[in-house]
Each structure stands twice: as structure tokens, then as C-alpha cells.
Amino acid sequence: MSSLIALLWFSLLTGCLATASTYPESEFDLRARDPDTDLTTPELIAKYGYPVESHTVQTEDGYILTLHRIPYGKKSSSRTNRPPVLVQHGLLSSSVDWIVMGPEKGLGYILADAGYDVWLGNARGNTWSKKHITLSPSQSKFWQFSWHEMGVYDLPAVIDYILERTGEEKLFYIGHSMGTTMFYVMASEKPEYNNKIRAMFSLAPVAYMSHAGTPFLKALAFAGDQIGWFTNLMGLNEFLPHTELLTIMGQMLCRDEAITQDICNNVFFLINGGYNSKELDSAMIPVILGHTPAGAATKNFLHYAQSIKTKKFRQYNYGWLKNLAVYGSTTPPKYDMSKITAPIALMYGMNDDLGAPGDVATLNKELPNVISYYKVADEQFGHLDFLWAIHGKSLLYNEILNLMAKY
């Protein structure tokens, strides 16, 4: 499957190079790329004058995760009475997504300046969390996880670490896309963790998927359960890890001067649930592609595809024989949403192919403690606008800050 996306990029690249002779040489000059393209998450945070720390957390099943922390901001530099907030990225993403747009637009900076102790998570398998105490990413066994394991192992380990480190009893949680799915898994499978959450903010929530699905995920769902067998057979364990080639292609094909920018945008957002072109600063796409995609286990996509096919929010379907061994039944169990008692704000966009409004409405009915059911005012607000919208602060982030102040 990663070869599919690679093929799309390659086709775009070859088409661009084929016509390069008719355009100024400077249009394909890679030397002028934005320096932020090549900086790591900690380097970006430090560049813009914010304090930054890196922490490692080991999960119960041996994965080693990296956390990036902004302990205080520039506009609010007090180091006491700063409530911790864990901000968790979505699929194919990383901690950088919350700061790549810069201090005035990145939620990580905005939270720090508003007086919060900001912890940016990195789920297993992405650029920053590719280590295990015994396994190597070159081994297939390393990649045998989906967002279920992230919810059962990653989030509890990270939450416990943050609370121990800060001496607090509770924290705020902000998740985007898969970051919300992980939370719903944790709070239903390990309900004791509901008591460690002051309030949870679901940005582009993804659980039920009766109305959701990008063309890519719908194709996986249509392929059925045999696609999992095929990917295992072919050793397709990791999906779209970040490479320098993607950075170069993003710089060449997606910057403002590039004749292929519009096509590039569509390819980039093919599997990511849509965006509002008016809210996307196209000049930032090469910088974003310097960091994103950050890689993920193929099993994450297969698990979502199962949700689309079955229209149920439940654990991974291994097939009836293995299901019997793992679950004691031929079908995987559903997640019990009634156990999710933490205060939850559901925040959705009308132009979101993954966190579809109809599915968010189902969540609103299922969750027992919804404190806000917030539709972003811009009717064209899409899945990735929750991260990178030009007016994200006025459309969304200010609402989050207002709610946080009440808890």
C-alpha cells in the first residue's frame, strides 16, 4: 500500500520533470527551501524562543516513546500552577504537527502561552517512537499493533509518566483523529484512567465510521479481510515512513512557484480526510512535508478499514479462528462507550471525510459525559484544518481555551 502512494508521488515527479525544460530553472531549484523543513521538533521549538524538553517513556509491552515538552510559554513564563495537557497527534503524524505552523498558529505554542504545561505525544511506530527493548523495526513482529495497543499501552504509560513528573493528579487531553480513537480505547478498556482526566478535547473524532472514509480507506474496506493476509505475506508492515525523498519532492512540487502545486495538494491529502483550500497556507506545504508523513503501522489502516466495513467500533478482527484464541469468540468485542466517563468535548468540521458529522453525532449519543458538541463555524473546515488552518485560533483553539478554563 505504501507503494501505491509512492507511485502517485513518482508519477507526479516524472510528469513535472518531463515539462521542466519549458519553465525557468529556478522553479526546480531545491536550494531555497525553508530552513524549518530540516529542523526537528525540539529544534523548531527552541528556534522560536520556547523552552523544550525531550522525555522517553517505556510501555508495558516494551515500546519506547518520545515526548516533547514545552513547560512554559513566552507570554506566560510562570513556572508554577501550570496544569499539564497531553496533546496527541493522529494517523501518520507526530508531535511536530502542533508546532510546525509557528507561534501564532501552532496549538502547542498557544497552549504554552495560555499558561499550560504542554506535552506533545508520539505514538509507537512514528518517526520519534521507533524503538523497543527487544524488537527492531526491521522485524515484522515490531509492527503488529494498531490504535488498540496505543490506547491500552501507550496512553496509560504516558499519562502516568506526566502525572508523576508534574506531581498532578489529573491532566487535560487533546487528541486529533487517531489521537481521539486511542483515548476512547483507553477510557473504555482501562476505565480507571477516566479519573486522571480533567477534560478531553476530541478534534475531528474518529470512532464510529458509518459515514466516514477517504477513498483510500474505503478501497481497503472493499478489499475485505484478505487484504490483511496479503500485507502480512508481502511484509508490508510500515506505512509511509518519512524519507528525504518525500521532503525533496514536497519542496520541488508543492511550493508556491510550482506548476504542480494543486495536484500535489490533492495527492498529499488523498488519505487524510480533506481540507479547506482557503484555510491552507500553501506556502507551508513544503515545510509540512519535511516532517509529515511520520509513518505508522499498516495495521492501523486495516483496523480503520474494518470499522468502515462493519460500521462498528470494536477490536481488531483477526478472522474467526484467531478471534477464538484471542477473544474467546468468533467476532471481536465492541468497545463499551458507557465506561468513558471523563468530560469530553466533541469538536468537528462539516467537510471532514474521517471524523464525519454523522458519526460524531453517534458519539454524542453514546458518550455519557459530553460537555461540548462544537461544530466549527466554517462549513468547509476539513480533517487537517484542525492542525494547520490559517484561522485555527479564532475558529477552534480559542473555544478549547475557554472550556479548559472551566475545568
The residues assigned a catalytic role are: 177, 383
Q: How far is CA 376 from CA 84, 230, 276, 327, 352, in A?
A: 25, 40, 12, 39, 11
Whole-angstrom Cα distance, residue 125 to residue 185? 18
On the CB side of 129, CA atoms within 13 Å amount to 31
Q: At what angle do helices 261-268 and 2-18 cross, to 10 degrees?
A: 180
Asked whether the beta carbons of 243 and 185 are under 8 A apart, the reply is no
370-375/63-70 β-pairing: unpaired
Cell numbers standing for residue 116: 499550560
Q: How far is CA 71 from CA 64, 111, 153, 253, 393, in A?
A: 21, 10, 24, 37, 20
| DSSP designation for 139 | S
Q: Residue 39: which residues within 8 A CB-CB, separation 6 or more?
A: 47
Whole-angstrom Cα distance, residue 203 to residue 348? 6
Whose CA is closest to 92, among 1, 208, 222, 187?
A: 1
Whose CA is closest to 252, among 264, 242, 237, 266?
A: 264
Q: 273 — alpha (psi -120 to 50), left (phi > 0) or beta? A: left
